């Protein structure tokens, strides 16, 4: 293999995040976390008529959600390298608990990103939820990976290389997303994962997705030549993850060249 080509090494761990993260210390360059919402999501899924999903436990009592958040965020701090970064994707309902938990750790909160999207559950007597909160955290105030992408990919003009804290993909359509897969109820788009990965890591870096769900971050890592540890508690999602991340295909990343998908059969675990 050409030295400029990167085959992503990866590992899917089926375990509770609080146990799985204990294996890692100063290891990750970037962690992405899309935690359970803590809103008894199973119940709302049924209320909204969303059938055909494998659901997961999402119920927390009292201040248990904040205590749980503090535990996994602290473990992430230890698992990250000194110049590592973390993004936490959260709905609005429990963002207060997450921010409180962050404040009790040593993380530096660099930005509070809003991702605006145009789908949601129609509601007559309140506003339709059309955004996620994404706190961006670093371990060291000044030393971390941050590589703005071109705001205008067509012109790539100098001076237009800034990133804003409101994200929006007007052309993204969840209904036509080829990577959206049947079976997991709350999948994030690969385009979102790729933005975080491109800005806050380099090819060959280690990325952790600590609430893997359908495995979108792992797919994005494979396509961008990053290595990835994907942690998910529910074993029922393993089949979905394997399918979504195209475990039966080699995906070779060539920096500055178009992605090439090879047809040879090999699992990423072999390369680990």
Q: How far is the CB of 50 from ligand SAM (least distance, A)?
A: 14
Of residues 97 and 252, the one with the C-beta less far from ligand SAM = 97
Q: How far is the CB of 67 from ligand SAM (least distance, A)?
A: 12
CB 262 within 8 A of CB 242: no
Of residues 76 and 231, the one with the C-beta less far from ligand SAM = 231
Q: How far is the CB of 148 from ligand SAM (least distance, A)?
A: 24
List of residues 6+ apart from 23 with CB closer than 8 A: none
Q: How far is the CB of 34 from ligand SAM (least distance, A)?
A: 4
Of residues 102 and 252, the one with the C-beta less far from ligand SAM = 102
List of residues 6+ apart from 126 with CB closer than 8 A: none
Of residues 8 and 214, the one with the C-beta less far from ligand SAM = 214
Of residues 211 and 252, the one with the C-beta less far from ligand SAM = 211
Q: How far is the CB of 80 from ligand SAM (least distance, A)?
A: 17
Q: How far is the CB of 263 from ligand SAM (least distance, A)?
A: 26
Q: How far is the CB of 241 from ligand SAM (least distance, A)?
A: 9
Q: How far is the CB of 184 from ligand SAM (least distance, A)?
A: 5
List of residues 6+ apart from 185 with CB closer than 8 A: 41, 45, 50, 53, 54, 55, 56
- Sheet hosting strand 6-7, strand order edge to edge: 6-7, 250-253, 260-262
> How many angstroms separate the first and last alpha carbons of the chain?
16
The residue behind tokens 């080829």 is 178
Of residues 135 and 252, the one with the C-beta less far from ligand SAM = 135
Where on the chain is the footprint of ligand SAM (CB under 6 A)? 16-17, 34, 36, 56, 184, 186-188, 211, 213-214, 216, 231-234, 237
In this structure, what token pair is assigned to residue 5? 């080509």
Of residues 97 and 231, the one with the C-beta less far from ligand SAM = 231
Of residues 36 and 84, the one with the C-beta less far from ligand SAM = 36
């Amino acid at each position: 293999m050409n030295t400029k080509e990167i085959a992503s090494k990866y590992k899917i761990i089926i375990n509770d995040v609080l146990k799985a993260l204990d294996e890692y210390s100063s290891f990750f360059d970037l962690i992405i976390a899309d935690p359970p919402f803590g809103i008894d999501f199973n119940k709302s899924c049924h209320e909204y008529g969303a059938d055909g999903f494998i659901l997961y436990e999402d119920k927390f009592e009292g201040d248990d959600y904040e205590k749980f958040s503090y535990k996994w965020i602290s473990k992430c701090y230890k698992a990250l390298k000194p110049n590592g970064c973390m993004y936490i994707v959260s709905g609005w309902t429990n963002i207060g608990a997450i921010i409180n938990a962050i404040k009790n750790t040593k993380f530096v909160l660099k930005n509070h990103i809003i991702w605006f999207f145009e789908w949601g559950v129609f509601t007559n007597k309140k506003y339709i939820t059309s955004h996620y909160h994404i706190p961006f955290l670093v371990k060291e105030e000044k030393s971390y990976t941050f590589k703005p992408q071109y705001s205008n990919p067509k012109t790539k003009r100098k001076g237009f290389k800034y990133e804003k804290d409101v994200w929006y993909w007007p052309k993204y359509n969840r209904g036509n997303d080829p990577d959206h897969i049947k079976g997991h109820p709350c999948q994030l788009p690969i385009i979102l994962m790729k933005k975080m990965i491109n800005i806050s890591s380099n090819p060959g870096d280690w990325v952790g997705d600590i609430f893997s769900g359908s495995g979108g971050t792992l797919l994005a890592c494979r396509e961008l030549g990053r290595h990835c540890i994907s942690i998910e508690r529910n074993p029922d999602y393993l089949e979905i993850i394997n399918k979504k991340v195209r475990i039966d295909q080699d995906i070779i990343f060539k920096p500055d060249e178009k992605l090439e998908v090879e047809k040879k059969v090999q699992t990423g675990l072999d390369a680990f």
